[in-house]
Amino acid sequence: DFLPSDQVKEEEDLLLDEDSNIIQGEGAEPYMSTQLLKARLHDLLEDTENGSFVKMFRGSASYIANHRGTIAVYHIPGELLAWEGFPGLMDDIALTWLLGMKIVLVAGCRHQIDLRLEEDEEGEDRGYSGKVMMSSIRVTDEDTLRVVKEEAGFVRFEIERRLAKSLRMHGGLVKGSESLVGNVVSGNFYSAQPFGVIDGIDYCWTGFPRKVEVERIRQVHETSDIVLLTSLGVSPSGEIFNVNSEFLAASVA
């Protein structure tokens, strides 16, 4: 039993190469027996570390089924943007989206803020301004808030840029359409309120989550999009506060 070839020769013109088990004829393209082809395919599946990939995929199938349609909240600290594995991280997040999970990203920018403030504060004593106090909470005055706005915007667009590329690479197709699905959507998906005065220290424009707009997030997920939140929260009166990204991620979850 042999696989068909485009150029079929007479049986007597065929020569069996016993070393490779490949059937060859003069002027004909090589082809192999069905039995040998099946053996080669089996070896291919079992090739890498005795089939570790296949075993891994089989073992993860139940987890994929259980988590399809569930919400995952990822906290991305600012340090990761300078990490060489950051593109791979975005690919992994895009993969979880492709497997059916609903994604919420919370981006922090403390690392970028610290670097900016270190440059601006050389030889200058600004008191509590910009200092990180209790529970990793920063005192945010007017000057520090401006830095937070700039760095939060930088982190947001870097994540959007790299994740958009990963979504295009790993994205699926809408049935009946050739357009790719999956966008990164940012917006006012939560409101903030001031942290206040604690132990005699006024935290100024530092805040914490007041309310998470759960229904708006769900509406975005209904269109197969990814929600991206930054550490800038807006109060109902329109004031902007610097919100700790770890606290925000916990509140959203």
76 phi, psi to nearest 5 deg: -115, 100
Closest CA to 34 of 21, 15, 48: 21
Identify the pLDDT of residue 51. Answer: 62
Identify the pLDDT of residue 146. Answer: 94
Residue-level pLDDT, tens digit, the chain, 253 residues: 444 444 434 444 443 444 444 444 444 444 445 665 556 656 655 555 556 767 777 777 788 788 888 999 999 999 999 999 999 999 999 989 988 899 999 999 999 999 998 887 665 555 555 566 566 788 898 999 999 999 999 999 999 999 988 888 766 554 455 455 678 999 889 999 998 888 888 889 999 999 999 999 999 999 889 999 999 999 999 999 999 999 999 999 9
Identify the pLDDT of residue 52. Answer: 73
Query: Helix axis angle, 86-98 relative to 142-170, nearest 10°?
Result: 60
Identify the pLDDT of residue 133. Answer: 58
Strand ranges of the sheet holding 102-107, from the earlier edge strand across to the other edge: 71-76, 102-107, 226-229, 184-186
Closest CA to 233 of 145, 129, 139, 160: 145
CA distance 17 to 140: 78
Identify the pLDDT of residue 58. Answer: 77
Identify the pLDDT of residue 22. Answer: 43
CA distance 159 to 227: 12
Tally helices (H) and strands (E) across the chain.
7, 13
pTM of the complete model: 0.72
